[in-house]
Amino acid sequence: MQAKQINGILNGTRNVLEGHLSLNVEPGNPTLEVNPVLSGQVSVIVGMTGKIKVDLILGMSQETTKMIIGRMFGGMEISEIDDMGWSAFSEFGNWVGAGCCTELSNLGFDVNITPPIINEGQSRFRSANQFISIPFQLDSHEIMIHISTQD
Amino acid sequence: MQAKQINGILNGTRNVLEGHLSLNVEPGNPTLEVNPVLSGQVSVIVGMTGKIKVDLILGMSQETTKMIIGRMFGGMEISEIDDMGWSAFSEFGNWVGAGCCTELSNLGFDVNITPPIINEGQSRFRSANQFISIPFQLDSHEIMIHISTQD
């Protein structure tokens, strides 16, 4: 697991949060060799295959999920997440995956992404490869970024 | 979502359960357009990219997970799943992914698989594409197969 691949994925994710959703991202300290990782109340899983294989998981609270969906709907206040909201959140996963594709491709690692899977409910994720976990602080919200790569 | 792709994935999964683990597989009736799907106590998620994109989720109880790990260890009785057990279960996910790759490739759909993610704990999975869910009865055990594809 190379630092530049990790940075590519973090930059791809950050570009979406900052560029598409106008959020302020403050990355925190990474934690290495985490396994299992906690899902958070809501998480979105994007897999990547190609020159490298990656599992990317973004874990967050229900409130943060609503905030993201609200921003995708142009600044709406979301009280309940309905089917349209979940569909938008899945599209958010696609945006992040596409953002990571671009960054990784620029680094010489062409990848394709799987359709995002949303996990709702507190659970634990494990992978054969250890995770590196980085918190992204977004003003009063937080997203945990979990990355597991395989060369 | 074509029937032959679904059948390829079901056959790939079944080949592993029957061929590698000597289990008796009795497929049940499929349920269409499920979203979200329940994770079960333990599930393993394998993503596929290529000519088609697939999310494959195998959901089951802790007891069924232990039975599968025990068979991978040559017929051991597993009372607690430790790190080695989880690692074996992840490898089971790889076997299933590889089995599906072979079947899909025979049908003209070349795909690559992501490293399997294991989900531990009861949660719900959603996808932008609806799932088709098929129970596989294995004598006294059951695995729920959830497939979501995107052309």
HSE-CB for A83 with a 13 A CA cutoff: 6
Residue in A87, A114, A121 nearest the CB of B49 = A114
A28 SS3 class: coil
- Each of the 151 residues of chain B gets a pLDDT tens digit; together they read 588 999 999 999 999 999 999 999 999 999 987 889 999 999 999 999 998 999 999 999 999 999 999 999 999 999 999 999 999 999 999 999 999 999 999 999 999 999 999 999 999 999 988 999 999 999 899 999 999 998 7
Tens of pLDDT, residues B80-89: 999 999 999 9
Structure tokens at A132: 């590196």
Q: Which amino acid is at A32?
A: L
Residue pairs between chains A and B whose CB atoms are closer than 8 Å: 120
Q: What is the pLDDT at residue A35?
A: 87
Residue B52's pLDDT is 93
Nearest CA to B21 out of B118, B107, B91 is that of: B91
Facing B127 at nearest CB: one of A47, A115, A123: A115
Chain A contact set for B39 (CB, 8 A): 119, 121, 123
Q: What CA–CA distance (Å, rounded) separates B23 from B16?
A: 9
Whether the complex's predicted ipTM is more than 0.85 is answered with: yes
> Residues of B with CB below 8 A from A150's CB?
115
Measured CA to CA, the distance from residue A94 to residue B132 in angstroms comes to 21
Complete domains list, chain B, with CATH: 3-150 (3.40.1550.10)
If you measure CA to CA, which chain B residue comes closest to A88?
A: B128
For position A1, what pLDDT does the model report? 56
Query: In the prediction, which pLDDT does B1 show?
Result: 56
The first and second tokens of residue B66, run together, are 């232990």
CB atoms within 10 A of CB B136: 21
Please list every residue in chain A whose beta carbon sits closer than 8 Å to the beta carbon of residue B104: none
CB under 8 Å to B19, separation ≥6 — which residues?
none
Q: Where are the alpha helices (DSSP H) in chain A?
A: 3-15, 62-72, 83-106
Of all helices (H) and strands (E), which one includes residue B75?
A: none
On chain B, the residues whose CB falls within 8 A of the CB of A118 are 36, 125-127
What global pTM score does this model have?
Answer: 0.94
Across the interface, which of B53, B112, B119 has its CB nearest the CB of A115?
B53
**Closest by alpha carbon to A21, among A79, A76, A80?**
A76
Report the helix count and the strand count for chain B, using DSSP H and E: 3, 10
- State the smallest CA–CA distance between residue A112 and chain B in angstroms: 6
Torsion of Cα atoms, B41 then A130 then A103 then B100, to 10°: -50
Strand partners, A59: A43, A144
Q: pLDDT tens for chain A, 151 residues: list them.
A: 588 999 999 999 999 999 999 999 999 999 987 889 999 999 999 999 998 999 999 999 999 999 999 999 999 999 999 999 999 999 999 999 999 999 999 999 999 999 999 999 999 999 988 899 999 999 899 999 999 998 7
What distance in Å separates the CA atoms of residue B128 and residue A91, rounded to the nearest whole number?
8
Please give the pLDDT value at position B2: 81
Q: Which residues contact A46 (CB under 8 A, 6 or more apart)?
A: A55, A56, A57, A93, A94, A96, A97, A100, A113, A114, A116
What is the pLDDT at residue B34?
Answer: 81
Tell me if B127 sits within 8 A of A117, measured CB to CB: yes
Distance of CA A122 to the CA centre of its chain: 16
